[in-house]
Amino acid sequence: MLYHIFSPLKETLIGANVFQYITFRSAGAMMTALLVSFCLAPPVIRWLAARQRNGQPIRADGPNTHLLTKMGTPTMGGLLLLAALMFSTLLWANLTNAYIWCALAATAGFGALGFTDDYRKLTSGTSRGLTGRMRLGLGALLALALVWYMNDLFAPALTSKLALPFVKSWMIDLGAPLFLLLGVLVVVGSANGVNLTDGLDGLAIGPAMIAAASFGIIAYLVGHRAFADYLQIHYVAGTGELAVFAAALIGAGLGFLWFNAPPAMVFMGDTGALALGAALGTMAIATKHELVLAIIGGLFVLETLSVIVQVVSFKLTGRRVFAMAPLHHHFEQRGWAEPTIVIRFWIIAVVLALIGLATLKLR
């Protein structure tokens, strides 16, 4: 909104030209989202707590300490996170940019799906919300519509193409059907990966912000012709604006983390986790860095794989590979303190992000 107000005034109003710079608007978006989070959080948390007498239903088969330390903590804090993210993006982004609307649509759509899941858990008083098939099916439909639309936004040379990390310009032409399938897997997989990681106070939001910062950098470079040519990466016109969205996500995440840090005053729930994961997946597809997301978001991949391995192993052999899945619960059962797990997983997320960003230069 501010971009559209001040850009036409750049010749007549001193300082109005700064609103044309993505870097300036990204900084503004981050600070705005942070301030909105701080202002909204206390009343929103009180409102959630008043309507959730028993808080988020805790897994009966989860760590015993959770029944003592987390019982009564309200969930659906993702509403706070998404409100700050979307308000800040609408305020600072160029609203004629189609990729911005794709990111907002993914965030809102998967946020609504997560909200439905959270609501069913609360009303039933159990940790069971939507069935796994229903959640995956609805998520796949949302992702399919989104990826279909984005594929039409790309220049002909990029349509249905898959870029490879560490490779300069050569891309694999998947064809529309396979590219759509890949896109659905990226968005739905990312959404559920973040959701599975969201099991300890502050665990999911930290790596999500790290991944958002990484893709904010990637979006800015991919969307800037000079930088893209210098780094010998593919240029995708318009994606630079996603840096504003990524910055807003970081600001909203920092504000949420203030209240989600151990001991958490509120949980993001599926409302926030599914939305954040879908937003990251959307940025990866828009910037043609789908495979790099598997590196930068490697922590989410590990958490997801731990669940898959655990289920497959138990069904085939009757034995469990991990003491408990997802992976963070395994380390809890091995005696690691919750803050230790969270901080060490954050360190892993930083290292993976640096490796992912290194692919921009190592080609």
- Which residue, among 20, 33, 87, 30, has the nearest Cα to 241 in the 3D structure? 20
Q: Are 142 and 110 in contact (CB under 8 A)?
A: yes
Q: Are 273 and 200 in contact (CB under 8 A)?
A: no
Model confidence over 180-206: pLDDT tens digits? 999 999 999 999 999 999 989 999 999
More confident call, 14 vs 76: 76
Model confidence over 250-279: pLDDT tens digits? 999 999 999 999 889 999 999 999 999 999
297: Cβ contacts below 8 Å, ≥ 6 apart: 190, 193, 207, 211, 280, 352
The burial class, CB within 10 Å (0-12 / 13-18 / 19+), for 29 is buried
Q: Are 225 and 235 in contact (CB under 8 A)?
A: yes
pLDDT beyond 70 at 233: yes
Query: Can you tell me the distance from the alpha carbon of 112 to that of 259, in angstroms, rounded to the nearest whole number?
Result: 22
Using N-to-C axis directions, what is the helix angle for 242-260 and 78-92, rounded to 10°? 150
Query: Can you tell me the distance from the alpha carbon of 293 to that of 46, in angstroms, rounded to the nearest whole number?
Result: 36
Write down how long the chain is: 363
φ, ψ (nearest 5 deg) of residue 162: -115, 120
Residue 140 is predicted with a pLDDT of: 97
Residue 56 is predicted with a pLDDT of: 67
Query: Can you tell me the distance from the alpha carbon of 36 to that of 280, in angstroms, rounded to the nearest whole number?
Result: 21
**Domains of the chain: which residue ranges?**
23-358
Average pLDDT for residues 46-55, to the nearest whole number? 82
φ, ψ (nearest 5 deg) of residue 355: -65, -40
Tokens 């919300």 identify what position?
129
Q: Are 273 and 78 in contact (CB under 8 A)?
A: yes
Query: Can you tell me the distance from the alpha carbon of 284 to that of 194, in angstroms, rounded to the nearest whole number?
Result: 15
Residue 69 is predicted with a pLDDT of: 65
Structure confidence at residue 33 as a pLDDT band (50, 70, 90) = very high
Query: Can you tell me the distance from the alpha carbon of 222 to that of 225, in angstroms, rounded to the nearest whole number?
Result: 7
Mean pLDDT of the chain: 92
Q: Which residues of 137-170 are buried (b: 16+ CB within 10 A; e: fewer)?
A: ebbeebbbebbeebbebbeeebebbbbebeeeee
Residue 59 is predicted with a pLDDT of: 61
Average pLDDT for residues 232-245, to the nearest whole number? 96
Q: Are 95 and 241 in contact (CB under 8 A)?
A: no
pTM for the complete prediction? 0.95
Average pLDDT for residues 332-360, to the nearest whole number? 95
Model confidence over 103-141: pLDDT tens digits? 999 999 999 999 999 988 887 766 677 888 899 999 999
Query: Can you tell me the distance from the alpha carbon of 216 to that of 242, in angstroms, rounded to the nearest whole number?
Result: 7
